[in-house]
Amino acid sequence: MRLRVQLAVFLVIALVAIVGLYRFLQTPGYQITVQLSDSGGVFPNAEVSYRGVTVGRVNQLKLSPAGVQALLTIDSSAPLIPASAKAVVANRSAVGEQYIDLEPADDKGPYLAQGSTIAQDRTSLPPTPDEVLSNLDSLVKSVPADKLKVVVDELDKTFAGTGPDLQKLLDASRDLTAAAAQHLPQTKALLADGKTVLDTQNRDAADITSFATSLNQIAGQLKGSDADIRSLISAAPAAAQPVDDILRSSGRNLSVVLANLYTTTAITSTRTAGIEELLVAYPVITAFTPGLSPDGTGHLGLILNFFNPFPCTKGYETTQERPANNTAPAAANSQAYCAEPPSSPIDVRGSQNVPRGNTPRLPGALGTTQTTPSPTNMAQLLGLPG
């Protein structure tokens, strides 16, 4: 039993020795030199970090004509470190524990290797305690004591009794931060989509500017018409009441009327010019119509044009003439019509010659050309010789 214990102890010692020998014999990495103007509080065996990860240690500090040389040992397992990296002596905490952080500008080569040197102009030191205290003293002296007292008193008045409210504010801020972290993917997607929207707005900047200008003009017009708009708004309720009564009393029949009006609209839309002419001429006709019979008797004027132009007879050949005293019923000749072309000098008539909507009629002759000489006396007018 004792022999077994001795063998076990010997085996453990042998394993420890092998591990230690392996660590002693393995490649330690490579050494680089950092030129510092001052140690900055860094010490031998201090950590060397790269992107927040420990990659080596400070092996030795030596004085140099320009300041201090720090010999760093970089582990062989460390990633490639760009030779352009800066060496920053930083504090890990407020009580000290300095270390050297290698901060590269990018990942491009060349890279640090055995014997590389980081020049002093690419190093940075933390402020010394005396500098911090001196700056703090200067700051305190620059603040007037009486005004500082006023500020402190006002702060006391501001936050006095607000402890619960501040606690709620902090709790709400914590919840807000947690919710923001939980919805970070949606927030990133929103920002990405926002970039698309902003790019669209930037691309359509000219159109948006034009729209804003037009909107400003409309607003200016509305401002200029403020009195009229106010009058319209005041009168609108009274005018809208009859319309509302009509709509309520009409019910569903109104929709039928509107549907039927579509046909009327389709017909009149192609005859807008004629309707406009009618609306212009109708007031003139109604203006002189009362003068035709002011006292119950007709006051008419008759002008004889003596067949200038001649009436249209072409197309009426199939109509049978009969004496004026024959008042017996007779069927109308539905095939009779004025067969003269629209450009004929004859007095062209008939519905086939009425102008159609959207189809302008070509003007013809003025109708002053006669096919036979005009009568010059009553006998010729009556068709008698002489």
Tens-place pLDDT, residues 328-364: 999 889 889 999 988 888 888 887 777 665 555 554 4
10 Å Cβ neighbour count for 303? 4
Say if CB 122 and CB 81 are below 8 A apart.
no
Residue 110's pLDDT band (cuts 50, 70, 90): very high
Q: What is the pLDDT of residue 146?
A: 85
Q: pLDDT tier at 145 (50, 70, 90 boundaries)? A: confident
Tell me how crowded residue 116 is: count the other CB atoms within 10 A of its CB.
18
Q: What average pLDDT does range 103-115 have in this prediction? A: 89
Specify if 286 maps to a domain: no
Q: How far apart are CA 169 and CA 117, in angstroms?
A: 52
Average pLDDT over the chain, rounded to an integer: 83
pLDDT-derived band at 367, boundaries 50, 70, 90? very low
For range 22-37, the mean pLDDT: 75
Cα dihedral: 245, 249, 251, 256 (round 10) = -100
Nearest to 33 by CA among 84, 68, 82, 4: 68
End-to-end Cα, the chain, rounded Å: 176
pLDDT at 151: 85
Residue 309 lies in a domain: no
Is 50 within the bounds of a domain?
yes
Torsion of the alpha carbons at 208, 211, 217 and 222, rounded to the nearest 10: -120
Q: What is the mean pLDDT of residues 198-203?
A: 88
Instruction: Considering only residues 205 and 21, tell me which one the structure prediction assigns the higher pLDDT.
Output: 205
Helix (H, G, I), strand (E, B) or coil at 41: coil
Look at residue 303 and tell me if it is in a domain: no
The pLDDT, as a whole number, for residue 352 is 78
Which H helix or E strand runs over 264?
helix 253-268
User: Taking the alpha carbons of 16, 29, 35, 79 in that order, is the dihedral positive or negative?
Assistant: negative
The sign one gets for the Cα dihedral 244, 245, 246, 248 is positive
More confident residue, 259 or 384: 259
Question: Parallel, antiparallel, or unpaired: how do β-strands 96-103 and 47-50 relate?
Answer: parallel
In this prediction, residue 366 carries a pLDDT of 46
Pairing state between β 123-124 and 47-50: unpaired
Total domains present in the chain: 1
The residue segments making up the domain with residue 68 are 30-129
DSSP string, 3-27: HHHHHHHHHHHHHHHHHHHHHHHS-
233-281 pLDDT, tens per residue?
A: 888 888 888 888 888 888 778 888 888 888 888 888 887 877 888 888 8
Distance between CA 135 and CA 133 in Å, rounded?
5
Angle between helix 226-250 and helix 205-224 axes, rounded to 10 deg: 90
User: Pick from 84, 144, 150, 153: which is nearest to 119 by CA?
Assistant: 84
Angstrom distance (rounded) from CA 279 to CA 360: 19
The pTM of the whole model exceeds 0.85: no
Mean pLDDT of 159-184: 89
Say what the pLDDT of residue 381 is.
55
What type of residue is 160?
A: A
